[in-house]
């Protein structure tokens, strides 16, 4: 099997124009929270295809819905309506507070955010966008301008100054402002709450006010934010910050876009959508990943007012809103509801957090554990007091150790120093306990 993996990787280098597929594993089967590699080894998947497998790999009800719809009618383009799509958008829109009720169907999170930017700009007649440092909003060139986390900023990494080329009207605030070098905001890259506690959120709001004051235009199209930053390392904002930020932006004519690509569909446990925890109803919500449990689909939900101002615009894509996506989307919503997966996220997220807190107290290299429901981060540090990130090679060793013991987790954060724990929401108590025991062994080995 190893020879086969090597052969495939050699082949990838020749024909696959992607920088990913970095792992030396050839996966061939998935079932619920489990993955099997070609050599027969089994893994507990605590990353869920990057927060995407929401109800479990190859869930029978999702597969059945997909099969039935594919056999009946797989594609029409969005010229012709189908009952699968009609049923889905009705169902999805009911999950939002009023006035969020109009659904646009697209294919990926990047495309959803690209459309959200366009909707906000067309609706407000303004161009400028505010995005937050550490945020990730996509990999197409428009959303790369919004994305503000290290190596993901292709444009910056390759010397195209973001402000100069791809996104001339994106302001990074407050995290990105060079004026805030010593601001508590810098601390956010390493910890949940700033050292001053959550009240320091007021200072963040002041920083945002500064950014707005300094920006060339006084008119905004929108602010975009993840309720909890995912790729950024499971970073939570101080209480009240997003609400205050949305008010500042709305005062300048802008909209509030909530990027729920990772945080939606019950993953956070206590709330179905991340914005609900921040006391602010967005004007636009974008979603992807968990929406299709691995099937490529995404959506934007907005108000009739915003949608109306877009009615003259020509917006079209070939696959968005195809009937199979409609059927899959409905099945995913059914499973989340029928299997009580939101509640499972809440309960097992708590169990996981409690276990991780014990590890944090036990091991010097665990600097912080944080998150909500089944979106959890465990930050690795080399100096607990100063929260200096653990060097990447050591983080990778621990990660590799976990994998050798059968546990797959993700990584994120500015220095890739935070393990990301985002399993399918169907995991059990035994899975949580197994993951904790694997972490325990791996951390112990790296602490002696």
Angle at alpha carbon of residue 318, lines to 330 and 257, rounded to 5°: 65
Q: How far is the CB of 260 from ligand PMP (least distance, A)?
A: 8
Among 138, 290, 326, 389, binds ligand PMP (CB under 6 A): 138
Q: How far is the C-alpha of 105 from the C-alpha of 445, rounded, in Å?
A: 47
Per-residue tokens: 329 = 């989307």
Q: Which stretch binds ligand PMP (CB under 6 A): 131-139, 159-167, 311-319, 427-435?
A: 131-139
Do residues 36 and 43 lie in contact, with contact meaning Cβ atoms separated by under 8 Å?
Answer: yes
Beta bridge partners of 57: 32
Q: How far is the CB of 263 from ligand PMP (least distance, A)?
A: 8
Residue bearing tokens 């503000």: 148
Mention every residue, 6+ apart, whose C-beta is less than 8 A from residue 325.
85, 88, 105, 292, 295, 296, 297, 319
* Nearest residue to ligand PMP, scored by beta-carbon proximity: 109
Q: How far is the CB of 113 from ligand PMP (least distance, A)?
A: 6
Smaller CB separation from ligand PMP, 184 or 230: 230
21 is a site residue for ligand PMP (CB under 6 A): no
Residues 86-125, mask of contacts with ligand PMP (x by CB under 6 A): ----------------------xxx--x------------
137 is a site residue for ligand PMP (CB under 6 A): yes
Q: How far is the C-alpha of 140 from the C-alpha of 112, rounded, in Å?
A: 11
The candidate with the shortest Cα–Cα distance to 307, out of 93, 145, 81, is: 93
443 is a site residue for ligand PMP (CB under 6 A): no
Q: How far is the C-alpha of 398 from the C-alpha of 442, rounded, in Å?
A: 6
Smaller CB separation from ligand PMP, 48 or 184: 48
Q: How far is the CB of 135 from ligand PMP (least distance, A)?
A: 7
Residue bearing tokens 């601390």: 187
Q: How far is the CB of 20 from ligand PMP (least distance, A)?
A: 11
Q: How far is the C-alpha of 358 from the C-alpha of 65, rounded, in Å?
A: 42
Q: How far is the CB of 42 from ligand PMP (least distance, A)?
A: 26
Mention every residue, 6+ apart, whose C-beta is less than 8 A from residue 448.
none
Among 45, 114, 128, 259, binds ligand PMP (CB under 6 A): 259
% helix / strand / coil in the chain, to the nearest 5?
40, 15, 40
262 is a site residue for ligand PMP (CB under 6 A): yes
Q: How far is the CB of 259 from ligand PMP (least distance, A)?
A: 5
Q: How far is the C-alpha of 446 from the C-alpha of 378, rounded, in Å?
A: 15
261 is a site residue for ligand PMP (CB under 6 A): yes
Q: 266-281: string of b/e by CB count within 10 Å (b at 16+)? A: bbbbebbbbbbbbebb
Q: Which stretch binds ligand PMP (CB under 6 A): 54-62, 245-253, 258-266, 340-348?
A: 258-266
Among 30, 227, 230, 233, binds ligand PMP (CB under 6 A): 230
* CA distances, 388 to each of 348, 359, 365 (Å): 29, 18, 10
Computed over its alpha carbons, how large is the radius of gyration of the chain?
21
Q: Which stretch binds ligand PMP (CB under 6 A): 133-141, 198-206, 301-309, 415-423?
A: 133-141
Residues 47-76, mask of contacts with ligand PMP (x by CB under 6 A): ---x--------------------------
Q: How far is the CB of 147 from ligand PMP (least distance, A)?
A: 8
Residue bearing tokens 């020749």: 14
231 is a site residue for ligand PMP (CB under 6 A): yes
Smaller CB separation from ligand PMP, 245 or 261: 261
Q: How far is the C-alpha of 444 from the C-alpha of 448, rounded, in Å?
A: 6
Positions in 271-300 near ligand PMP (CB under 6 A): 288
- Contact positions toward ligand PMP, by CB under 6 A? 50, 108-110, 113, 136-139, 226, 230-231, 259, 261-262, 288
């Amino acid at each position: 099997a190893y020879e086969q993996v090597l052969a495939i990787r050699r082949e990838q280098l020749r024909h696959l124009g992607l920088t990913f597929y970095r792992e030396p594993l050839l996966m061939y089967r998935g079932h619920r929270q489990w993955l099997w590699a070609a050599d027969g080894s089994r893994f507990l998947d605590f990353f869920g295809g990057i927060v995407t497998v929401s109800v479990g790999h190859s869930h029978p009800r999702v597969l059945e819905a997909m099969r039935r719809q594919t056999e009946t009618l797989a594609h029409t383009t969005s010229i012709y309506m189908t009952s699968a799509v009609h049923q889905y958008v009705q169902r999805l829109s009911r999950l939002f507070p009023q006035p969020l009720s109009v659904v646009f169907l697209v294919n990926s999170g990047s495309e959803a955010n690209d459309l959200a930017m366009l909707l906000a700009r067309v609706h407000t007649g303004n161009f400028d966008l505010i995005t937050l440092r550490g945020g990730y909003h996509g990999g197409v060139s428009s959303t790369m301008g919004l994305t503000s986390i290290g190596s993901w900023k292709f444009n910056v990494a390759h010397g195209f100054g973001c402000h100069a080329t791809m996104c001339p009207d994106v302001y990074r605030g407050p995290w990105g402002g060079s004026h805030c070098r010593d601001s508590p905001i810098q601390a956010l890259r390493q910890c949940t709450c700033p050292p001053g506690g959550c009240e320091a959120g007021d200072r963040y709001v002041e920083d945002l006010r500064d950014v707005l004051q300094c920006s060339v235009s006084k008119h905004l199209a929108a602010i975009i934010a993840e309720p909890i930053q995912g790729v950024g390392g499971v970073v939570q904002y101080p209480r009240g910050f997003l609400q205050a930020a949305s008010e500042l932006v709305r005062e300048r004519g802008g909209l509030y876009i909530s990027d729920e690509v990772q945080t939606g569909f019950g993953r956070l446990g206590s709330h179905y959508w991340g914005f609900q925890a921040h006391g602010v109803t967005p004007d636009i919500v974008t979603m992807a990943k968990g929406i299709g449990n691995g099937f490529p689909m995404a959506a934007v939900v907005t108000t009739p007012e915003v949608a109306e101002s877009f009615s003259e615009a020509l917006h079209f894509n070939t696959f968005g809103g195809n009937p199979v996506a409609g059927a899959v989307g409905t099945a995913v919503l059914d499973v989340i509801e029928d299997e009580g997966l939101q509640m499972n996220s809440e309960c097992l997220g708590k169990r996981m957090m409690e276990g991780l807190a014990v590890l944090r107290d036990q091991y010097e290299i665990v600097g912080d554990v944080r998150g909500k429901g089944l979106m959890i981060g465990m930050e690795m540090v080399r100096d607990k007091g100063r929260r200096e990130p653990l060097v990447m090679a050591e983080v990778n060793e621990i990660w590799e150790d976990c994998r050798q013991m059968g546990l797959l987790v993700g990584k994120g954060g500015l220095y890739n120093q935070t393990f990301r724990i985002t399993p399918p929401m169907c995991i059990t108590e035994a899975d949580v306990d197994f993951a904790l025991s694997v972490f325990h062994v791996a951390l112990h080995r790296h602490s002696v």
